[in-house]
Amino acid sequence: MSGMASEHNNSSQEEYIPHYLQKEDPFASKLSREADIIAGFYLTIIGILSTLGNGYVIFMSSKRKKKLRPAEIMTVNLAVCDLGISVVGKPFSIISFFSHRWMFGWIGCRWYGWAGFFFGCGSLITMTAVSLDRYLKICHLSYGTWLKRHHAFICLAIIWAYATFWATVPFAGVGSYAPEPFGTSCTLDWWLAQASVAGQAFVLSILFFCLLFPTAVIVFSYVKIILKVKSSTKEVAHYDTRIQNSHILEMKLTKVAMLICAGFLIAWIPYAVVSVWSAFGRPDSVPIQFSVIPTLLAKSAAMYNPIIYQVIDCKLACCRSGGLKAKSSLKKSR
């Protein structure tokens, strides 16, 4: 009986046909024209705000590029990744939504899927590096004394190499990029897991190295930071004003990093859940109308970070101005 069951499973895997091969036109939209127009307007707004916001962050950073600290260099790299998603990817999907079909064929589909995965993976690994930087800076104070700018550039080289490797692996024959079930966007071919054991291994590798492992590092780093802050708050209170101010600044930078990571994960985790369900659940078990919502949410992740930068920068400016006023009044009283 077990042998018959295994033969049935193997035959079902061999007989499985992905959604993009079941119909003659895999790029025709499966949504209503009204839904496509709404999605197109949504992505247009997201794309404009993301391009302007991240472009502004990069422009302002370029003015003081020689004075950027290692943590700031990583922040600029995150803005570059977000800008890349907006400039390289969003026009393809916006045009396709308004056209009610994917307009760029298989070559454009594979390029769009590669670019989205490349910049998305780069963003997540950059945030992983930032979380580690915050963890070592807060929990291991001696780390901050030796970290220099060239260490940050070495880290950037590793991040881009990592993203390039995993985004290019599907072209080596172990995976692929394919149209989404709703037809007007492209992504990793999660449905290979339904077809073969090799496809399952490919999907699991992508999930572990490009989502689960980086997310685990981020969560570990910030949990350790929170525990460290709770235990050291009373100790810092006994130090002089300069050390207290330095501690406050480091904690504000840590809050920025935590907000950025939280925004990214909130945007991408629903998409990851739907993708895993599509890969390992029953074929076509995710309704097409439902699958488009996590996709649109994930595409909005690049818009959040510039807003977080500006809000925190305003607070830091207020704190600095307040600190300067306090110092000047202290000098006058002396």
Residues 100 and 32 sit within 8 Å (Cβ to Cβ): no
End-to-end Cα, the chain, rounded Å: 92
Within 109-202, strands assigned E span 177-179, 186-188
DSSP 20: G
Report the pLDDT value the prediction gives residue 164, as an integer from 0 to 100: 96
Q: What share of the chain is helix, strand, coil (3-state, %, to 5)?
A: 80, 0, 15
Tokens representing 64 are 């003081």
Q: Round to whole Å and give the CA distance between 253 and 246.
A: 11
Q: Which residue has the tokens 């629903």?
A: 270
d(CA 225, CA 220): 9
* Domains of the chain: residue spans and CATH: 28-310 (1.20.1070.10)
Question: How do beta strands 177-179 and 186-188 pair?
Answer: antiparallel
pLDDT in tens, the chain (334 residues): 444 444 444 444 456 677 777 767 889 999 999 999 999 999 999 999 999 999 988 888 888 878 888 878 888 899 999 999 999 889 999 999 999 999 999 999 999 999 999 999 999 999 899 888 888 887 877 766 667 788 889 999 999 999 999 999 999 888 889 999 898 999 999 988 887 888 889 999 999 999 999 999 998 988 888 888 777 655 555 555 555 556 566 667 677 778 888 888 888 888 988 888 888 877 667 788 788 999 998 888 888 777 776 655 555 444 444 444 434 443 443 3
Ranges of beta strands (E only) in the chain are: 177-179, 186-188
pLDDT at 8: 40
The encoded tokens of residue 3 equal 């042998």
Q: What is the pLDDT of residue 282?
A: 73
74's CB contacts (< 8 A; 6+ apart) are 126, 129, 130, 133, 152, 155, 156
Backbone angles phi and psi of 189, in degrees to 5? -80, 80
Distance CA 76, CA 99 (A): 34
Question: Could you give the count of Cα atoms lying within 13 Å of 198 in the half-sphere of its Cβ?
Answer: 7
The residue length of the chain stands at 334
Q: What per-residue confidence (pLDDT) applies to 36? A: 94
Q: Output Rg (C-alpha) for the chain, integer angstroms.
A: 23
